[in-house]
Amino acid sequence: MVLKNKVMKTMKGFALFIMLFTISLWSCHKVDQKELISEPTKTLKDCTIDPSFKWETAKSVDVRLTCGHSGVVYIIPVQGNFIYHKGFLSKGSEYHTKISVPAYIDKVKLRMNSAVHEVSIIDNKLVSSLP
Amino acid sequence: MKTKHSYFSLVLMIFLLIPVFGIATTRYVSLAGSNTSPYTSLADAATNIQTAIAVCNDGDVVLVNDGSYLLSSNVSITIGITVQSMNGAEFTIVDGNHLTRCFYIDNPNALLKGFTIQNGYNPFDFGGGIDINNAGTVENCIIQNCQARDGGGVALDYGGLVQNCIISNNIASNNGPEGYGGGVRLLNGGEIRNCEITYNSSVYLGGGVNIWESGKVKNCVISKNTCPNGAGIRTRNNGLVFNTISYYNNGTNYEVSGSGYYYYNCCTTPALSGSYSSNCISSEPMFVSIISGSEDYRLLSGSPCIDTGMNIEWMNTVPDLDGNPRIVNGTVDMGAYEFLAPVSPDSDGDGILDVDDDYPTDPTRAFNNYFPASGFGTLGFEDLWPAKGDYDFNDLVCDYQFKTVTNASNIIVEMFGTFTIKAFGATFHNGFGFQFPDDHVLSSDLEATGSNLQSGTYITLNPNGLESGQSRPTIIVYDDAFGLMPHPGSGIGVNTCLYAPNVTPVTLEIHLDFTGGSYTIEDVNINQFNPFIIVNKNRSREVHLPDYPPTSLADQGIFGQDDDNSNPATGRYYRTQNNLPWAINIYESFEYPVEKSEISHAYLHFIEWGESGGTLYPNWYQNIVGYRNDGNIYHH
């Protein structure tokens, strides 16, 4: 009987420990979540925006390309499986077009007849002479 | 009887002489063989190459099955036999294990064919991968990651032929200051043809190739090799180079020494002296790709190396490195690969090969171009202008994408605008449209179809489907969102309150036919299109993106009222005193805030983006951990 009581006491203690441990873990988790999604204290009314800022998530890029031979040029992302632009370049004449890319993109690739060249966008301009 | 006897003697003599005059026997090598001499079946195959060679006679063929054969000493071929892989270099590897040279060859009738030969090590002697002494032929092999003092990949001494091989990443070094020919070294003879020799290095002379005396290099590509003295090729006495491209090496593309060397029909830079070259060029060879890791040394259409080599007799029987005919169009190309015109047809004859043509059977159309290119973008509007709203940008949420179809001359044929109304947290009955961004395109050159207008609409269209009274082409997509997506009975507007039933978004497609003029994508510049909402069926009240002008039908008298701080004289439109907008255009499909939740409470870096002038968090709208509070974003 004494032994049974001892066992019961030990089991109760263990259950209490598990319960407190679980609660403590859960509490920690809640704090983490809160930190993760802490909202900005500022609202739009309070912010200072430069009048020249256009609120644009993309930029329009002037494209100027020349090539020593004719063919179809693809303007493609450095990473990603889509095409910014596709058109026919004539040997000896400058090809003009415009593309739109996300504002944070500063490089694209040019593909022509399977040759691929990486080109930088500088001051919203993409200029390249393909071989 | 005498005749019978003579006949029997003849047959016996022929039978006895077979081994002497060589009826070829095929022997096999396989890692799974039983190693049973004379190895004449795959089941009885020897388990290493040298064992099979040991029982061969001149003229025999040793066929080596797929697998990786690790060596402890080099394989020696000094009789006139062929040692050949069964399925090519890709599947059959002979590995020197960084302990030994892989092959030694010394017989004019010896042929080694179709192996990857790697990790050969012979730092104080000739040939890390292969040493050909006097004579022998190696073809269709890949020789890589080997080291020797002379000829890290291959050494040829007093003769030998190496053709149609890829020789890369080998080193000429004695683990000290000496090294001659990282890829190949030729001494007193020998010839290499149709080889791609790249990324080799030598500590002293000739990163790709070093000719010490009298060697010949024909139709090779030598690129991206490294050496302090002749990174590409170093030619000394009587070294002759034909139809070879040595370009993009890390150091000088060529170096000459001694006398009697000569370059015929080669491509390298700087230009070779006319005193030891003829018909050579220095312009770029126009390889398909020289980007590190994805090099392709085939020639592009228009390459100056096409049809500018010197024809040599062996080219009639030996193919190029791809296995294609070595001479096409009558004159061989420089380099290891003969240029073949694209085989893609041009079914509609518009000058665009089918492989590049989005409309291969329609000569009036060639290309599709999309804006945004990666998928749908999203427009978000506030509709209380000129008063400030709640900045949840959900009074209209509309996904959009334009497809522009051009012909082979890059002239626009037609354009499709696809618009999906996802939500409108509004009680106003708003319409939506867009205007071309400038005056390049005449409205009379267009025909628009697909506008969704309710009966008794307040919109007036011209017969060509564009809105009348406009100075620039203007298309009304719809005149009342409630007519397309009815209010579900609860919530503000449609699809902005989580407690209200979701209404299936509606997609509309506008088709614009370019019936006149010749406009390019640059002329139309749809990337800068000017979208707007028409507030509560009041045609004179429009809301646009910041600094986008109103259309001709907007009431400009509203500018400056309430919170609006526009100044049409300076091109400032639809901004508050502190430069906040009433609309936003996002390059990707955007998950918008729930009703009454300011966008900065859904997208946590929106304000930093705005205050930094767009330099911080330019991708604030993406679903990245820590970028947004999902509880303030509409989901259903």
DSSP B378-410: EEEE--STTS---S---SEEEEEEEEEEE-TTS
Q: Which residues of A touch B621 (CB under 8 A)?
A: 57
Q: Is the pLDDT of residue A26 over 90?
A: no
Q: Which residues of B touch A66 (CB under 8 A)?
A: none
Q: Which residues of B touch A96 (CB under 8 A)?
A: 520, 522
Of B369, B578, B599, Cβ closest to residue A49: B578
8 Å CB contact of B618 and A97: no
Q: What is the pLDDT of residues B573-593, one digit of tens each?
A: 999 999 999 999 999 999 999
8 Å CB contact of A44 and B598: yes
Q: Which residues of B touch A40 (CB under 8 A)?
A: 600-601, 604, 606-608
Residues contacting B14, CB < 8 A, separation 6+: none
Q: What is the pLDDT of residue B624?
A: 94
Q: Are B329 and B371 in contact (CB under 8 A)?
A: no
Q: What is the pLDDT of residue B215?
A: 95
Alpha-carbon Rg for chain B in angstroms: 37
Same-domain pairing of B208 and B121: yes
Q: Has residue B28 been placed in a domain?
A: no
Q: What is the pLDDT of residue A39?
A: 58
Q: Has residue B323 been placed in a domain?
A: yes
Query: How many domains, chain B?
Result: 3
Q: Which residues of B touch A101 (CB under 8 A)?
A: 373
Same-domain pairing of B278 and B253: yes
Question: What distance in Å separates residue B384's CA from the closest CA in chain A?
Answer: 16
8 Å CB contact of B287 and A53: no
8 Å CB contact of A53 and B610: yes
Q: Has residue B17 been placed in a domain?
A: no
The last residue of one of the domains, among B332, B355, B384, is B332
Q: What is the pLDDT of residues B27-53, one digit of tens each?
A: 999 999 999 999 999 999 999 999 999
Q: Are B145 and B171 in contact (CB under 8 A)?
A: no
CA dihedral sign, ordered B320, B324, B328, B330: positive
Same-domain pairing of B407 and B499: yes
Q: Which residues of B touch A72 (CB under 8 A)?
A: 352-353, 356, 367
Same-domain pairing of B621 and B585: no
Residues contacting B419, CB < 8 A, separation 6+: B398, B399, B400, B432, B477, B507, B508, B509, B510
Domain ranges for chain A: 1-38, 58-130
Note whether A39 contacts B: Cβ–Cβ < 8 A. yes
Same-domain pairing of B151 and B171: yes
Q: What is the pLDDT of residue A12?
A: 52
Note whether A44 contacts B: Cβ–Cβ < 8 A. yes
Same-domain pairing of B229 and B295: yes
Residues contacting B60, CB < 8 A, separation 6+: B24, B25, B26, B27, B81, B82
Same-domain pairing of B310 and B387: no
Of A47, A58, A84, Cβ closest to residue B607: A47
Same-domain pairing of B573 and B611: no
Average pLDDT in chain A = 78
Q: What is the pLDDT of residue A1?
A: 39
Q: What is the pLDDT of residue B293?
A: 87
Q: Has residue B462 been placed in a domain?
A: yes
Q: Supply the range of the domain harboring residue B630.
A: 597-636
Q: For residue A10, what pLDDT band results from cuts at 50, 70 and 90?
A: low
Q: Which residues of B touch A53 (CB under 8 A)?
A: 579, 610, 613-614
Of A98, A113, A118, Cβ closest to residue B521: A98
- Which residue of A lies nearest to B572 if distances are taken between CA atoms? A51
Note whether A32 contacts B: Cβ–Cβ < 8 A. no
Q: Has residue B413 been placed in a domain?
A: yes
Same-domain pairing of B447 and B471: yes
Look at strands B137-139 and B111-113 and give their pairing: parallel
The last residue of one of the domains, among B281, B302, B332, is B332
At position B365, the amino acid (one-letter code) is R
Note whether A26 contacts B: Cβ–Cβ < 8 A. no
Q: For residue A91, what pLDDT band results from cuts at 50, 70 and 90?
A: confident
Same-domain pairing of B257 and B403: no
8 Å CB contact of A80 and B374: yes
Q: Has residue B160 been placed in a domain?
A: yes
d(CA B535, CA B37): 94
Chains A & B: contacts with CB separation below 8 Å? 167
d(CA B457, CA B479): 7
Same-domain pairing of B607 and B522: no
Q: Which residues of A touch B525 (CB under 8 A)?
A: 60, 98
Q: Which CATH class is domain A58-130?
A: mainly beta
Of B286, B409, B614, Cβ closest to residue A53: B614
Q: For residue A2, what pLDDT band results from cuts at 50, 70 and 90?
A: very low
Of A58, A69, A104, Cβ closest to residue B301: A69
Q: Has residue B18 been placed in a domain?
A: no
Report, as ranges of residue numbers, the positions in chain B whose pLDDT lies below 50.
Answer: 1-21
Q: Which residues of A touch B529 (CB under 8 A)?
A: none
Q: What is the pLDDT of residue A14?
A: 52
Q: What is the pLDDT of residue A27?
A: 39
Q: What is the pLDDT of residue A11?
A: 52
Same-domain pairing of B317 and B301: yes
Q: Has residue B520 been placed in a domain?
A: yes
Per-residue pLDDT, averaged over A70-81, amounts to 92
